[in-house]
C-alpha cells in the first residue's frame, strides 16, 4: 500500500507552518531566568559549634603559612580559577580593597598552585600596602579544608568572628552597587555577633 507524501501535501505544509508559528511564539513568550541574589546564611551546625579550623596554605610565593582564623582573617573565600562567579567576586573584593583595609581576606583554592599563579598574574592586587589579602593559595590538605569548612560550591565566603567561629556563609558571586553594600552590612553584623561573656 502506498502512503501519501505528507511533507509535500497541503495538509503537511499547513501542519509545519502551524508548528513553526507556535514554536516561535512560545519561544518569544518565555521569560528570562533571573538568578536570585544570594544572602548570608547560617553555616552548618557542625561548623558553627566549634572554632573554625586553622588553615595551612601553600602561598603563590611558594611558602607555607598557617592561617589562624581566630586572629587573622575575617573572611575566608573558597574559590576556583575556572569559575566565572569566583572571578566576579575577586573583582569586587579588589575594588573594595582600594579603599578599605579592614577586610582581612584569605582566598583559598584546591587547584594546583601553578594555575593559581597564572590566574593572579592577570589580576594583580593594586591596593595600597596593608589592604591586600592575608594569603592566597592552596590548602596543604585540600580534603581537610573542604571537610572542615563544608565547601560544596564556588565561590563560598565564610565570615569569621573574633572568636574564630564561622558565623555565616555567602554562596555565589559578590554583587555590585547597593547589593554589595547590603552584603558588607551583613558581614559586619556577623563579625560582631559573638556573645558577651
Four-point Cα dihedral 156, 157, 161, 167, nearest 10: -50
pLDDT of residue 102: 82
Give the pLDDT confidence score for residue 110 in this predicted structure.
Answer: 93
DSSP one-letter code for 7: G
Per-residue exposure over 147-164, b if at least 16 CB sit within 10 Å of its own CB, e if not: ebbebeebbbbbbbbeeb
Domains of the chain: 45-191 (3.40.30.10)
Q: Give the pTM.
A: 0.73
Rounded distance, CA 89 to CA 80, Å? Answer: 11
Residue 48 is predicted with a pLDDT of 65
Q: In this structure, are residues 51 and 163 in contact, taking their beta carbons and an 8 Å threshold?
A: yes
Query: Residue 94 has what pLDDT?
Result: 87
- Burial (CB < 10 A; 0-12, 13-18, 19+), residue 52, is buried
Q: What is the pLDDT of residue 99?
A: 76
3-state secondary structure of 16: helix
pLDDT truncated to tens, each residue of the chain (197 aa)? Answer: 444 454 444 444 343 343 333 333 334 343 333 344 467 887 776 566 567 778 899 999 999 998 877 778 889 999 999 999 999 998 888 888 777 788 889 999 999 999 999 999 998 887 676 788 888 999 999 988 888 888 889 999 998 888 888 888 888 888 888 788 888 888 888 887 654 43
Q: How far is CA 160 from CA 71, 97, 121, in A?
A: 10, 18, 28
Amino acid at each position: 500500500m502506498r502512503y501519501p507524501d505528507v511533507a509535500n501535501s497541503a495538509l503537511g505544509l499547513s501542519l509545519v507552518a502551524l508548528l513553526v508559528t507556535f514554536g516561535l511564539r512560545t519561544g518569544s513568550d518565555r521569560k528570562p531566568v533571573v538568578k536570585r541574589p544570594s544572602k548570608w546564611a547560617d553555616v552548618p551546625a557542625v561548623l558553627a559549634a566549634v572554632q573554625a579550623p586553622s588553615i595551612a596554605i601553600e602561598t603563590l610565593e611558594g611558602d607555607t603559612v598557617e592561617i589562624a582564623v581566630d586572629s587573622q582573617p575575617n573572611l575566608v573565600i573558597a574559590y576556583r580559577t575556572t569559575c566565572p562567579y569566583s572571578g566576579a567576586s575577586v573583582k569586587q573584593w579588589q575594588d573594595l580593597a582600594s579603599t578599605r583595609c579592614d577586610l582581612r581576606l584569605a582566598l583559598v583554592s584546591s587547584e594546583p598552585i601553578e594555575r593559581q599563579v597564572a590566574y593572579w598574574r592577570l589580576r594583580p592586587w593594586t591596593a595600597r600596602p596593608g589592604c591586600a589579602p592575608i594569603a592566597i593559595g592552596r590548602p596543604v590538605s585540600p580534603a581537610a579544608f573542604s571537610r572542615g569548612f563544608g565547601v560544596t560550591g564556588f565561590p563560598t565566603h565564610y565570615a569569621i568572628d573574633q572568636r574564630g567561629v564561622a558565623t555565616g556563609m555567602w554562596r555565589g558571586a559578590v554583587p555590585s552597587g547597593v547589593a554589595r553594600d547590603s552584603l558588607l552590612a551583613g558581614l559586619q553584623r556577623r563579625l560582631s555577633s559573638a556573645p558577651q561573656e
